[in-house]
Structure formats: structure tokens, C-alpha cells
Amino acid sequence: MNKKNKIIEEFKLTGLIKQSSRYATREGCVKVWRGVTYEHFITMAAVCWKLANSGYKVYTEVEFTKGGRADIVAISGSCGFVFEVLHTEKEARFSAKKDLYPEEFLIIPVKTKGFDITQFDI
């Protein structure tokens, strides 16, 4: 895929993100807020670091136009991924959230328990 086509494909995927979220969520910035657990934040930051260094555009706490908010969104060309960091979240809640995300994105759960960045790869 040439550079122009890659940009066009990335633009299509970012078009599925709420406009207000696009302005509030800067590429490459990991959001932190009161109440998030240390394990959740550290895992999220590590995943973002790995994705950014693998050539992906990385966003956190992304709201989609049709609903749902993802912990991490990674985009490169026509490849779009949603990563949900699971620490205290139950499997049923994760399953319900998956239905809100655009079908153009592959959804990947990342569990904080036993997480090892050296073993993480997409």
C-alpha cells in the first residue's frame, strides 16, 4: 500500500471516532484520571508504547460515533484495533462493550493479571 492509500484508509477509520473525541484524544497521549487502578494504567501505557513503536497511530479513551468508548485504538493503514484493558472488569461487561464498537476494528482484550510486555505482540 502506497503512502497516499495508507492515509486514505487511516482517515476512513478515524472517521468512525466522534469528532469531539478526536479533538480531546491526541495521538500518542495516554490519558490518566483519578480512580483508574495502577495496574490498568501501567498495562495501558505499556501497550501504547509497544504499538507506537510498531508504527501504529495510538489513541486512548476513544469514543466512537455509534457509541462505546475504547481504552486503546491503534490504526495503521486499513488495520484498526481496539484494545480493552481488563483488570476489575468482568467478562460479561467486556462482551457487552464489544457490540458497541465499529465492525471495522478487531477487538482484543488485554488482561492486567500476568501481563508481560515482552510477550505482547499483534
pLDDT (0 to 100) of residue 99: 83
pLDDT (0 to 100) of residue 59: 93
Structurally, the chain folds into a number of domains equal to 1
The 10s digit of each residue's pLDDT in 60-95 is: 999 999 888 999 999 999 999 999 999 877 777 788
CATH classification at residue 110? 3.40.1350
pLDDT by 10s per residue, the chain, length 122: 788 989 899 989 988 988 776 667 788 888 888 888 999 999 999 999 999 999 999 999 999 998 889 999 999 999 999 999 998 777 777 888 888 899 999 999 999 999 999 998 87
pLDDT (0 to 100) of residue 67: 87
pLDDT (0 to 100) of residue 39: 94
Q: Specify the residue for cell string 487502578.
A: 37
> Among residues 122, 24, 19, which one has the least CA distance to residue 75?
122
What is the value of pTM for the model shown? 0.89
The per-type count for the chain, helices as H runs and strands as E runs, is: 4, 4
- Give the integer Cα–Cα distance in Å for 69 and 24: 13
pLDDT (0 to 100) of residue 23: 62
Domain that holds residue 46: 3-119
